[in-house]
A and B are shown apart, each in its own frame.
Chain A
Amino acid sequence: MRLPTALRGGVFVVLLVTLPMVGLQHWFLNLLVFVLMYATMSSAWNLVGGFAGYPSLGHAGFFGIGAYTIALIFKGHVLTSGYEPFLLLPLVGLVGALIGWPIALVSMRTRADVFAIVTITFLFVVQTLAFNLHGLTGGSQGASLPIAPFPAATFELPFYYVMAALLVLTMGLTFATMRSKVGLSLVSIRADEDKARGVGVRTTGVKVLAFSVSVGITAMVGAVWAYYQSFIYPQFAIDPLVTIAIVLMTFLGGRGTLWGPVLGAVILESGQQLLTYQLGAVQLYLIVYAFLFLVIILLLPRGILPTIEDRLRMRRRRRRTDASAARPGDRTPQNQSDSAPLLGGGAS
């Protein structure tokens, strides 16, 4: 597994870097920026929702926090190179992580249900605060950022590259997580949390870490988006539709995988951007996304990549059985049979 992933990663990075150089139209570059945006957010969500099995419904809130943070920092500023907001991204990420830390501590101690409850409530609270704290956020009038002084011909490029960098960073973190004991712990939590706790896994610590990193990244994405838009409104900066989009994308591609969220984002975000002109109304997106989500849960619950992986594994198993069937008496998983559970033990 080692070389192929590194190779795949390398090819991907090269692709990302060279793609804009072929001279793409503005609308396509814009599409790519949004695809990268959602790919990054889905990958970040995947750390908590996919690996740990804790579905956060409030990530859109951190997106908004990132957006408003950068707006606040640069309120009334005059930009010189235009790269200042990008340089301050790590700070925004830190702000997101610092806010996420106590939220995680409070909500991740008991069970995933409570966690979902707190995150969805948090989302609503952040949105309410964005509307109410006029002094900080401009309320429903919105907040503005200085317009990026990039040449109009290549306006999208810096945003594209920054988003691409964030995506590569997030995927790198995901990869590192999967290869380390953090990932091992997270999967054990998702598999059977009570058992994991029972064998001494430091469940709360690992979960809180994953959440903080996840929302820190999401906040950074929000900041880049805010700079890209130059003007943000609370209902778009903190939008439940964003939450369901990233959840849907992660589910579609496959939770707990490296490439799944990216695949999901590519499919859905390109689809959404391309259909924007046809559909128009936001309410329709709500219905489409919700409906798509329900269909995926019912028909393809594991997502695209894990389903493919399962099929491949089944085929490998069948080949193994056929090979060993030629040598009778060998112990393979299929040959070992156990009697049916007797009464299942009964209630004691």
Chain B
Amino acid sequence: MSDLLCVHDLTKIFGGVRAVDGASLSVKEGTITALIGPNGSGKTTLFNIVTGYLKADGGVVEFDGRDVTGSHPGKLYRQGLSRTFQQARIFPQLTVLENLVVAGGYGWRQLFTSRVGRKDRERAAALLEEFRLTDISDLLASELSYGQRKLLEFAAVLMSNPRLVLLDEPTAGVNPVLIETMERHIRERNASGITFLIVEHDMTFVMRLCDPVIVLDAGKPIFAGEPAAAQNNPLVLDAYLGS
């Protein structure tokens, strides 16, 4: 298994605070890798840098062997690296179907074609079915519940056939039934070849689903390995309980 994502010596400083401090880690293709750590460990910052939403002060990000440091999120998206947001960012003024169509991408020539054409419906149909969104596909996204938005965001991100999906706290604020649903979707997609990197706080979710687990503390990874081993590792315990 090769490294799909590689981060070398990444650094980000916010006015004196080293949010990310010379971090190096890698995500192997085909895995569901977790990125965990106590509050303030730099998970979100690292996430934002890797996905192009923040510029690093130093270090390199490599995706599929290519240097993508500082690349714009849109460019990364087209190259197969996509992400979701903690707050489930979807387009509220567009319908569920339209959200998928936008995420699916279209070229210059298609700009002047129908807003949602037959081809778009066909492309989105499978995902709508899979995520049980077909019945509400014409509802405005603003009318969805929080959980439905999370599902929609996840489904939308899959429209572009990504190779690596970064999930930003997929279980935050979501009921247990939906957590199970998300888990199932992640497993299914992983089985069909998508690699996942998940930032999470819910430990049981992480232990069930992810392998390996990377633990971050004070802007640097302090452990990378099996979830069970993480739970017993003294450094990890110290990071969570110590300070």
Given contacts A179-B114, A199-B105, A341-B173, contact A190 B93 (CB under 8 A): yes
Kindly identify, within residues 120 to 152 of chain B, every residue whose CB is under 8 Å from any CB belonging to chain A: 135-136, 139, 143-148
- Per-position 1/0 for A319-339, Cβ under 8 A of B: 000000000000101001111
The answer, among A196, A200, A205, A336, for a CB contact under 8 Å with B148, is A336
Complex interface: chain A residues within 8 A of B37 (CB): 348
Complex interface: chain A residues within 8 A of B77 (CB): 198-200
The answer, among A183, A188, A200, A338, for a CB contact under 8 Å with B145, is A338
CA distance A340 to B146 in the complex (A): 9
Q: Does B232 sit within 8 A of A, measured CB to CB?
A: no
CA distance A295 to B213 in the complex (A): 55
The answer, among B40, B41, B94, B157, for a CB contact under 8 Å with A184, is B94
Q: Nearest Cβ in chain A — how far from B152, in angstroms?
A: 12
Q: Does B230 sit within 8 A of A, measured CB to CB?
A: no
* In contact, A191 and B156 (Cβ under 8 angstroms): no
- Per-position 1/0 for A184-225, Cβ under 8 A of B: 110110111011111111100110000000000000000000
Q: Nearest Cβ in chain B — how far from A206, in angstroms?
A: 7
Q: Does A110 sit within 8 A of B, measured CB to CB?
A: no
Q: Does A345 sit within 8 A of B, measured CB to CB?
A: yes
CA distance A190 to B98 in the complex (A): 14
A: contact size bracket = 35 or more
* In contact, A342 and B173 (Cβ under 8 angstroms): yes
The answer, among A197, A336, A338, for a CB contact under 8 Å with B74, is A197
The answer, among B40, B91, B146, for a CB contact under 8 Å with A347, is B40
Q: Nearest Cβ in chain B — how far from A178, in angstroms?
A: 7
The answer, among A180, A182, A191, A344, for a CB contact under 8 Å with B91, is A191
Q: Does B92 sit within 8 A of A, measured CB to CB?
A: yes
- How many B residues, CB 8 Å from partner? 60
Complex interface: chain B residues within 8 A of A346 (CB): 39, 201
* In contact, B92 and A181 (Cβ under 8 angstroms): no
Give chain A's interface secondary structure class: helix
Q: Does B172 sit within 8 A of A, measured CB to CB?
A: yes
CA distance A201 to B102 in the complex (A): 7
Q: Nearest Cβ in chain A — how far from B118, in angstroms?
A: 14
* In contact, A181 and B115 (Cβ under 8 angstroms): yes
CA distance A347 to B44 in the complex (A): 8
Q: Does B206 sit within 8 A of A, measured CB to CB?
A: no
- Per-position 1/0 for B167-200, Cβ under 8 A of A: 0010011110010000000000000000000010
Complex interface: chain B residues within 8 A of A341 (CB): 146, 172-173
Q: Can you identify 13 A-B contacts, CB atoms within 8 angstroms? A: A180-B112, A181-B106, A181-B115, A184-B94, A188-B94, A195-B89, A196-B102, A197-B72, A197-B73, A199-B74, A200-B160, A205-B108, A337-B145
16 more CB-based (< 8 A) A-B contacts, given A197-B73, A201-B74, A206-B111: A180-B113, A181-B113, A184-B94, A188-B94, A196-B102, A199-B105, A200-B78, A333-B139, A333-B145, A337-B175, A338-B174, A344-B173, A345-B173, A346-B39, A347-B44, A348-B39
- A interface residues, Cβ below 8 angstroms from B: 178-185, 187-188, 190-192, 194-202, 205-206, 317, 331, 333, 336-342, 344-348
